[in-house]
Amino acid sequence: MTGIDFTVFKGSPNGKIIESKTHKETIKPDEVLLKITHAGLCGTDQHHKTADMVLGHEGVGIVQQVGSQVTAFKAGDRAGWGFLHDSCGHCDECLNANEMFCPERAIYANSNTDQGAFASHAVWKAAFLFHIPDAITSSDAAPLMCAGATVFNAMYSYGVRPTDRVAIIGVGGLGHIAIQFAAKMGCEVVVFSGSESKRSEARSLGASEFYATRGASTLEIGKPIKHLFVTTSHNPDWNLFFRVLAPNATIYPMTVSEGDLAMPHIPIVSKGLTIQGSFCASRGVHVKMLRFAAVNGIKPITQEFPLTAEGIEEAMAKLSKGEVRYRAVLVAGR
């Protein structure tokens, strides 16, 4: 390849989506050129829409060309990528398959800001791309690149077991996928939501119990919770939920919000609770997530929009209003 120009969609200081161009002079020996077909919209993209950068990190497309050293992909393959673009490969974290925590990691919004999932094409390192299983459509695969990988990583990497009683707060972009993963892992899945409106849907996704929490001063749920996943856009009333946690339970605050994480001190100490931070998946777990989703028929609930400036604007507006059910997927024109 001797140079390619492709269309990208960037943020801007006023939050308006700008159509622009990116140029790549050549594909390096370890890189792959993808034609993007689907891109998931994540809340993190909203956070960067006022930045001069190409948006999107839940990308899925078709391999068009591969570098001279690439053996894992060939033209015509479907491939996707997520938050992580590169790592050093030799630090303790990389050598322990925790490259998401590599001190030299290249991640969304901090590197490669001249390209992203909201684009016609992208050039990525082959080692940080993932084959999409045949059982997963490209539209379903896009939200799994970040949302799916994030919730699966927290469950897989931090000790959730099939015998555990797992609770998920929120039936939204992260929560509705988390319910499916926990249920298919064999867990007893308890779901908390503000109102009764999502009870039947939560049950159909795999919840064994459902509790509406708005206005509640106490929760009566029977057996206590071993793992609590917080997937809402804001932090809950911790005093309400601490009372239903088992001793030595783990809390996963997966909400991305501004400000400090403030929790009551005494219950954490007296119950021996763990507050477990968790980020997107490293590559080994990401591959396992896709395999698990394919085998168990786990599918995001999605709404599709055109992969255009107008389509991105519409999807972001609906996401801001809480009107997306539950992940927006941008689809390129044929």
Concatenating the DSSP letter of every residue in 52-81 gives SSB---EEEEEEEEE-TT--S--TT-EEEE
Domains defined for the chain, CATH in brackets: 4-146+281-331 (3.90.180.10), 149-275 (3.40.50.720)
> pTM of the prediction?
0.97
Q: What percent of the chain has pLDDT over 90?
A: 96
pLDDT value for 280: 95
pLDDT tens across 212-249, in order?
999 999 999 999 999 999 999 888 999 999 999 999 99
pLDDT value for 2: 63
Residue 156 DSSP label:
H
Which residue is listed with tokens 């590559």? 283
pLDDT tens across 270-326, in order?
999 999 999 999 999 999 999 999 999 999 999 999 999 999 999 999 999 999 999
For the chain, helix, strand, coil in percent to 5 are: 30, 30, 45
